[in-house]
A and B are shown apart, each in its own frame.
Chain A
Amino acid sequence: MAGKFPLPSEITTPPGAEGWQELYSYSSTLSEARREYEDSMFWFQDGVHWPKALLPWDASLMELAITALSQYNTRHLLVPPANGIDFRIVNGYCYLSPVPAPEADIAMRAEAFTQRAGHYFMNWNELYDNWLIKIRDLVKQMEALEFNPLPDIEPLEVVTSGAGRGAGGKFQENYLTLLTCASTLWQYHFEFLNLGYAAYLDFFGFAKQAFPGISDLAIAKMVAGVEVDLFRPDEELKRLARMAVDTGITDAFVIGDVEATCAALKASGDAGLAWISSFQQSAEPWFNFSTGSGFSSQDKIWIENVEIPFDFIKNYITNLQKGADINRPTEAISAERDRIVSEYTALLASDEDREAFAGKLGLARVVFPYVENHNFYVEHWSHSVIWRKMKEIGAVLTKEGFFNEPGDIFYLRRHEVPDALFDLYHSWAAPAAPAGPAYWPPIVARRRAIVEALNAVKPTPALGVPPEVVTEPFTIMLWGITSESIANWLGGGASEDGSLNGMAASPGVEEGPARVIFGPEQINEVQEGEILVAPLTAPSWAPIFGKIKATVTDTGGMMSHAAIVCREYGLPAVTGTGFATSLIKTGQRIRVDGSNGKVTLLD
């Protein structure tokens, strides 16, 4: 493969970001001692989950997530060719490097994997039902963690019950429990995920052998579920919009902000009250939905920013009033899926082939609901709770003068938080002046400036020496990193004819003006009939997919959230272009060919 990326050791610090390493764990940044190893590996930037420079505390969830992935591949399941994924934070961005399994171990690993993964495949439904219970219990456990200001005097029953412990100690303990829960959460996440992908890949491989020209999309459509939890939040919005129309309370939605709407609803009597209560029911858990990937403390969450779901509901109400059909045509989707499967089946060469095809498709369909649904439970619901709890801690520390605002907590590394909490504990107990109010504000201010400086520089898509071919199955599946996409990055983006290549993620061709946005806070800028161009999209952007004509992203593969949502909404999408947001300008006319993975700049 021609060309190369900078070596990790060649990367320089952007101006204004000097000392950025203090934001992260020593083990997560590049180190002189590991230089030779680091320079010998290939690292790709994970813009799918972390499109911006990581905040210090946010890095915790990245570290826990990637480590849990690695743990399952390496220690639990012994995935034959693949060990885990090593990571480094470079200039604030997350870079990943797959670790291959030693050649000599592969036979042993294959045997162990067959036994271990086989157990999961054989008992999938039972284990998955149990997983849903585990994850809900975990959320409950985190929700129950209290982070209240410490009381002036412990309540009498603390003394009389003989508990022998108090609020100061509990506060610290709860934080550590929250960290433990986050670690457990990510271990649960990877208990199933790679197995789901493995079964999917097996069906995928068979289909490609039988039909060399079959598209990735056709395969995805045969496996994809019809009722998917990831679409549930959007379904709830539609349901609430329909309810407002059916019960004749839509007038309340034309009067300004959420507060005014709620007041009008309450004043309108039973129908309005019923709607509010129905909204509240939907909200838990379905509006624990991040406007981003769920991995950033800065992304907005619907339930904490109810103007977001309200705006979407208003939009749906308007569409309904215009006579539009906002229902998801589940019956048609299901019938189309059956048609596709039966037509390909008929084209197979023999009854043995048909039997194998049906068997592999069957297994893929058993395991795939996990792949489709886990994202809501982990990245959206559970992470929402984690961010909320962290803000509660931040609020207590703000009240004690440690911070200017609760969100400052995310500028502390996760192991700095216990230090601050001990400071709080001691100053409450003594009582004595805490050191924090003088200590933390300058640190937070400095780190804020560093993050801003890091965000100002677009990261290089990869570091080090690219492999001849990418064969690591999960890298391809999860991140859409292929030999082609690496070649594309090395080519610097646009090809000679002024077009960008990416993954053909959702079929169709559309032309229109581009709208380039860099994050969920810009969602409102998107106008009817525009083509969305973004570093990546999140499932919670679903409601704007009713407005746009097509989507182009910098990162992500066939299974990225943008791809799944676009297929669902029938919009063309090209993902993983690498450079769309830097080469395309808002207002520029572009053509998106989602069937061939090509974006053409027309102006």
Chain B
Amino acid sequence: MTTISWFESYWAGMRDEVGGKAASLGEMTGAGLPVPPGFAICTSAYRRARDESDLDAQIARLLHGLDINDTDSVSRRCAEIRRHIATMPIPEGIELQIRGAYLELSARGGTKEVPVAVRSSATSEDSPDASFAGEHDTYLWVRGAEDVIDAVRRCWASLFTDRATCYRVEMGYDHRSVEMCVVVQKMVHPRAAGVAFTLDPTNGDRSQVAIDAAWGFGESVVAGEVTPDNFRVDKVMLEITKRIISTKSHEYVLTDHDSVEKVETDPERAIAPCLTDSEIKAIARLAKTAERHYGCPQDIEWAVDAELPDGDNIILLQSRPETVWSKKGPTRVVAPGSNTGDFMSSIVSTLMSPLYSKSDQGT
């Protein structure tokens, strides 16, 4: 049984082992949609930890004679179970593998202890008890192997939220029937971030990718707090067709104690382009891939990670369907039912008003 499954080595047969969230991250990585790098700690790890400890016995003891209508008692007993899971020993082989994987992820980020997000990923999301579990179990900015292992146990413990536990008791399900996978993913530390549309939002031109970008975290762009740099990239040629560099007066940065803070941008940096040409093209390529993957124009959020090496540092944070132009549909040139075979009249009208003179060269 695999304990650790990196996103890039995910394949469809592993869905049950890693749960929905990790499966989706694995699928995206495989489709060329680069989510922040990371790995899943498969359900087998939870099973072994459970089976090699006295967890079942503890659960049986703590839930014995539970009245699910006595909320105080439910709450007290479930908290006790979760506390127990959060401190139980993890089999040595498994702990070593988690430490090893975290070390490798840190190395990719170029540091010793890379900050990560640790999240629960339940295996049967269509069953309600599983979706109760770990609804809110996300630990951000976790640093160091010790803390990662603690967070993993706390994710496991989220199988025993009050709601999930009561549901199982009520339905008569075995508590062993639910299992938990945990996702460990590098926290994005954006040098620059922003949004991209897979069409030109000013005229619906499907051949263009429009990119808005600013320094630091993408909040400043999404909230419209700064005027971002604006780039247009031809989707087919992957050439930058337009660039407007703005004064990006402030940015959201990461503080030493892992919080995000709004600061004034150094004046020289404020007027400098926040992306290199190869980054702009990589973002356009990413947007194009997302559009192809989802089958319709997309509106994506992306970041350039400061800690990942060039070529691997463009991260997709979110992709959703573009709505404004997609509703109207692409702009037709030829009216439906018109004769496309009459090339001479078309040539004559071209010569009479050559579009060529209406230069749209970028500035």
Interface residues of A (CB under 8 A from B): 79-82, 106, 110, 113-114, 117-118, 121, 198-199, 201-202, 204-206, 208-215, 217-218, 221, 339-340, 343-344, 347-350, 352-353, 355-356, 359-360, 363, 469-471, 473, 476-477, 482-484, 503-504, 507, 509, 595-597
> A509 to chain B: which residues have CB within 8 Å?
277
16 further A-B pairs in the complex, CB-CB below 8 A; given A213-B205, A597-B361: A81-B352, A201-B351, A202-B343, A213-B241, A213-B360, A215-B234, A221-B237, A340-B236, A352-B332, A352-B336, A352-B337, A356-B333, A504-B362, A595-B239, A596-B243, A596-B361
Interface residues of B (CB under 8 A from A): 200, 203, 205-208, 232, 234-237, 239-243, 277, 329-338, 340-341, 343-348, 350-363
A152 to chain B, nearest CB (A): 60
> B361 to chain A: which residues have CB within 8 Å?
484, 503-504, 596-597
- B344/A118 in contact, CB under 8 A: yes
- B240/A202 in contact, CB under 8 A: no
Complex partner residue of A476 from B343, B344, B354, B360, CB under 8 angstroms: B354
> A82 to chain B: which residues have CB within 8 Å?
351
Q: A211-B207, A359-B341 are in contact. Are A507 and B237 (CB under 8 A)?
A: yes
Complex partner residue of A212 from B200, B338, B340, CB under 8 angstroms: B200
Give the number of A-B contacts (CB < 8 Å). Answer: 165
- A482/B357 in contact, CB under 8 A: yes
Q: A214-B234, A482-B359 are in contact. Are A353 and B343 (CB under 8 A)?
A: no
> A360 to chain B: which residues have CB within 8 Å?
343, 346
B352 to chain A, nearest CB (A): 6
**Interface-centre pick from B236, B358, B363 (highest chain A CB count, 10 A):** B236
Q: Within the assembled complex, what's the spacing in Å between the Cα atoms of A214 and B206?
A: 10
Complex A-B: 24 CB contacts under 8 Å: A106-B352, A110-B348, A110-B352, A199-B347, A202-B350, A205-B350, A206-B333, A208-B360, A209-B355, A215-B234, A340-B236, A343-B236, A347-B207, A352-B332, A352-B335, A352-B340, A359-B340, A359-B343, A360-B346, A483-B359, A595-B241, A596-B243, A596-B361, A597-B362
- A353/B334 in contact, CB under 8 A: yes
A251 to chain B, nearest CB (A): 44
Q: A211-B208, A344-B207 are in contact. Are A217 and B239 (CB under 8 A)?
A: yes
> B341 to chain A: which residues have CB within 8 Å?
359
> B241 to chain A: which residues have CB within 8 Å?
213, 215, 595-596
- A355/B340 in contact, CB under 8 A: yes
A121 to chain B, nearest CB (A): 7
- B239/A471 in contact, CB under 8 A: no
Which residue on A lies nearest to B203, using beta carbons? A212
- A363/B343 in contact, CB under 8 A: yes
Which residue on B lies nearest to A222, using beta carbons? B236
> B350 to chain A: which residues have CB within 8 Å?
198, 201-202, 204-205, 473
Q: Within the assembled complex, what's the spacing in Å between the Cα atoms of A82 and B235?
A: 36
Q: Within the assembled complex, what's the spacing in Å between the Cα atoms of A81 and B362?
A: 28
Q: Within the assembled complex, what's the spacing in Å between the Cα atoms of A80 and B360?
A: 25
Sorted from nearest, which 7 A-B pairs have the closest CB atoms?
A: A349-B330, A211-B207, A356-B340, A213-B208, A352-B334, A343-B236, A205-B355
- B338/A352 in contact, CB under 8 A: yes
**Interface-centre pick from A198, A344, A352 (highest chain B CB count, 10 A):** A352
> A344 to chain B: which residues have CB within 8 Å?
207, 236
Which residue on B lies nearest to A195, using beta carbons? B347
Q: Within the assembled complex, what's the spacing in Å between the Cα atoms of A80 and B347?
A: 10
B335 to chain A, nearest CB (A): 8
> B203 to chain A: which residues have CB within 8 Å?
212-213
Complex partner residue of A214 from B207, B356, B359, CB under 8 angstroms: B207
Q: Within the assembled complex, what's the spacing in Å between the Cα atoms of A232 and B358?
A: 35
Q: Within the assembled complex, what's the spacing in Å between the Cα atoms of A350 and B336?
A: 8
Q: Within the assembled complex, what's the spacing in Å between the Cα atoms of A259 and B242?
A: 53
> A199 to chain B: which residues have CB within 8 Å?
347
Q: Within the assembled complex, what's the spacing in Å between the Cα atoms of A213 and B335?
A: 21
- A217/B207 in contact, CB under 8 A: no
Q: A117-B347, A476-B354 are in contact. Are A348 and B240 (CB under 8 A)?
A: no
A464 to chain B, nearest CB (A): 19
A199 to chain B, nearest CB (A): 7
A115 to chain B, nearest CB (A): 9
B264 to chain A, nearest CB (A): 25
> A208 to chain B: which residues have CB within 8 Å?
355, 358, 360
Q: Within the assembled complex, what's the spacing in Å between the Cα atoms of A476 and B356?
A: 7
B11 to chain A, nearest CB (A): 29
> B242 to chain A: which residues have CB within 8 Å?
213, 596
Q: Within the assembled complex, what's the spacing in Å between the Cα atoms of A544 and B334?
A: 45
Q: Within the assembled complex, what's the spacing in Å between the Cα atoms of A80 and B352?
A: 7
- B234/A471 in contact, CB under 8 A: no
- B340/A79 in contact, CB under 8 A: no
- A470/B357 in contact, CB under 8 A: yes
Q: Within the assembled complex, what's the spacing in Å between the Cα atoms of A205 and B333?
A: 11
Q: Within the assembled complex, what's the spacing in Å between the Cα atoms of A141 and B47?
A: 93
- B348/A113 in contact, CB under 8 A: yes
> B358 to chain A: which residues have CB within 8 Å?
208
**Interface-centre pick from A121, A356, A503 (highest chain B CB count, 10 A):** A356
- A483/B239 in contact, CB under 8 A: no
> A106 to chain B: which residues have CB within 8 Å?
352
B6 to chain A, nearest CB (A): 32
- B206/A596 in contact, CB under 8 A: no
B362 to chain A, nearest CB (A): 5
B298 to chain A, nearest CB (A): 14
> B277 to chain A: which residues have CB within 8 Å?
509
A537 to chain B, nearest CB (A): 21
Q: A215-B234, A353-B333, A360-B343 are in contact. Are A198 and B351 (CB under 8 A)?
A: yes
- A347/B357 in contact, CB under 8 A: no
> B356 to chain A: which residues have CB within 8 Å?
201, 204-205, 473, 476-477, 482
Q: Within the assembled complex, what's the spacing in Å between the Cα atoms of A331 and B221?
A: 43
Q: Within the assembled complex, what's the spacing in Å between the Cα atoms of A483 and B360?
A: 12
- A211/B348 in contact, CB under 8 A: no
Complex partner residue of A347 from B235, B332, B338, B354, CB under 8 angstroms: B235
> B200 to chain A: which residues have CB within 8 Å?
212-213
Which residue on B lies nearest to A214, using beta carbons? B207
> B360 to chain A: which residues have CB within 8 Å?
208, 212-213
Q: Within the assembled complex, what's the spacing in Å between the Cα atoms of A258 and B360?
A: 50
> B359 to chain A: which residues have CB within 8 Å?
482-484
- B336/A79 in contact, CB under 8 A: no
Q: Within the assembled complex, what's the spacing in Å between the Cα atoms of A199 and B203?
A: 26
- A595/B240 in contact, CB under 8 A: yes
> B240 to chain A: which residues have CB within 8 Å?
595-596
Q: Within the assembled complex, what's the spacing in Å between the Cα atoms of A398 and B356?
A: 51
**Interface-centre pick from A205, A343, A353, A482 (highest chain B CB count, 10 A):** A205
> B362 to chain A: which residues have CB within 8 Å?
504, 595-597
> B340 to chain A: which residues have CB within 8 Å?
352, 355-356, 359
- A198/B357 in contact, CB under 8 A: no
Q: Within the assembled complex, what's the spacing in Å between the Cα atoms of A199 and B344?
A: 9
Q: A82-B351, A114-B344, A355-B340 are in contact. Are A217 and B206 (CB under 8 A)?
A: no
- A80/B234 in contact, CB under 8 A: no
Q: Within the assembled complex, what's the spacing in Å between the Cα atoms of A114 and B348?
A: 7
- B334/A117 in contact, CB under 8 A: no
- A210/B239 in contact, CB under 8 A: no
Q: Within the assembled complex, what's the spacing in Å between the Cα atoms of A199 and B345?
A: 11
Q: A347-B207, A348-B330 are in contact. Are A204 and B355 (CB under 8 A)?
A: yes
B110 to chain A, nearest CB (A): 28
> B235 to chain A: which residues have CB within 8 Å?
343, 347
B172 to chain A, nearest CB (A): 54
- A349/B357 in contact, CB under 8 A: no
- B333/A210 in contact, CB under 8 A: yes
A366 to chain B, nearest CB (A): 11
Which residue on B lies nearest to A82, using beta carbons? B351
Complex partner residue of B329 from A349, A476, A507, CB under 8 angstroms: A349
Q: Within the assembled complex, what's the spacing in Å between the Cα atoms of A359 and B8?
A: 44
Complex partner residue of B236 from A218, A352, A507, A595, CB under 8 angstroms: A218
Q: Within the assembled complex, what's the spacing in Å between the Cα atoms of A219 and B243?
A: 21
- B354/A117 in contact, CB under 8 A: no
